[in-house]
Amino acid sequence: MRVALAHDYLTQHGGAERVALLLTRIFPGAPLYTSVYSSGSTYEGFKDVEVRTSRLQRVGAFRRDPRLALLALPHAWRSMHVADADVVIASSTGWSHGISVPAHTRKVVYCHNPPRWLYQPGDYMPNRYLRGVVSAATPYLKGWDRSAAASADLYVVNSTSVARRVKAAYGIEAEVLHPPVAMDADAEQEPVPGIEPGYWLTIARGRGYKNTQAVIDGTRALPGARLVIAGSASRELGAGEDHVSAVGIVSDAQLRWLYANARGLVSVSQEDFGLTPLEANAFGTPVAVLRAGGFLDSTAEGVSGTFIEAPTANAVRDTLRDFPEFTPELVRKHAANFSEDVFSARLREIASFALV
């Protein structure tokens, strides 16, 4: 079985990109099609993969922010043709499901979410100009998006929440296959200079739906609380906050250390699935996350963490003030339920089934 892979764009350190990188390990040697690729802005592992980009790769602004290519992306994906595969597996948040395949090739979509830029533009695009472009182009973009979804032979989603959204957007009943914990808790750790254990940890990539400001404000209201923010937007968000240590983008070894030495991971983002709670759990670290979206699938209340009832500073403060003790062994056991072996075996079965 010849497999090719596709992912929207490789320009950030996100959960969807971790899954795309995992796909390259499950199907070694498979080419990976993407619209734009910035090797310095995403995971280093992609440097070992045959990455095939679209014509948009030539434009530096699009590599820095693919959202600027909004109206060009449908044509870019239609123009990318796969000629040497029996099955294409598209890791999609709104674009790669539109890749063109010949009649003899089957297309399996692993959907992280129907496109936020189309169905939730206020959350995904705080820029007023981009929201205006999306609004004006919505009929065209929705038509393309639904046609792209209909071109798939099989649809698989990462959470029950996303399954409901896929049903609402496309009328497609999709199988739920949770992504695995892709971070090896036994691998090398590297301390982050200037950080002492016992902090609250949050990950910030800077888009509105991450709601990091509520975590900053909520922890500020807790006497003695320290917050570490990691991620591309951490320095901007943490500026001027005495209780915040903003460490920016860290290596995987440093991220492992941050997970292992945190009192807990905190997130009130609207996640499709949300891998970070499970990554923290793999180190025995509990979580406090929003009672919504994919966190309902990835968090076992009272076992691996607790829920925050609203994405507000007061809700964060109240939850962390009363944060209970958890048993690290049980927290790690919960994360083990989301294993790479289970995910890999089922995805191979799905790819084979698509050929029947």
Mean pLDDT by 10 residues, the chain (356 residues): 97 91 96 97 95 97 92 95 93 96 95 86 62 81 96 96 95 96 92 98 71 94 96 75 92 96 96 90 98 94 98 98 98 95 95 85
Q: Residue 214 domain-assigned?
A: yes
Dihedral (C-alpha) 161, 164, 170, 175: value to the nearest 10 degrees? 80
CA distance 108 to 151: 9
**What is the domain range of residue 212?**
199-336
Is residue 114 located within the same domain as residue 65?
Answer: yes
The residue to which tokens 């399996």 are assigned: 108
Helices marked H in the chain = 15-26, 60-64, 73-78, 116-119, 121-124, 128-150, 160-170, 212-220, 234-238, 252-261, 276-281, 295-298, 313-321, 328-336, 340-354
Is residue 332 located within the same domain as residue 349?
Answer: no
Is residue 170 located within the same domain as residue 213?
Answer: no
Q: Residue 191 domain-assigned?
A: no
**R_g of the chain, CA atoms, integer Å:** 20
The reported pLDDT for the residue numbered 129 is: 66
The reported pLDDT for the residue numbered 124 is: 57
Residue 170 sits in a domain whose CATH number is 3.40.50
Is residue 154 located within the same domain as residue 11?
Answer: yes
Q: Residue 188 domain-assigned?
A: no
Is residue 151 located within the same domain as residue 25?
Answer: yes
Q: Residue 11 domain-assigned?
A: yes
Is residue 154 located within the same domain as residue 204?
Answer: no
The reported pLDDT for the residue numbered 275 is: 86
CA distance 325 to 303: 10
Burial class (CB in 10 A: 0-12, 13-18, 19+), 45: middle
Is residue 144 located within the same domain as residue 214?
Answer: no
Burial class (CB in 10 A: 0-12, 13-18, 19+), 300: middle
Is residue 143 located within the same domain as residue 260?
Answer: no
Check if the beta carbon of residue 67 is closer than 8 Å to that of residue 125.
yes
The reported pLDDT for the residue numbered 121 is: 65
336 Rama sector, left if φ>0, alpha if ψ -120 to 50, beta otherwise: alpha
Q: Residue 185 domain-assigned?
A: no
Is residue 203 located within the same domain as residue 320?
Answer: yes
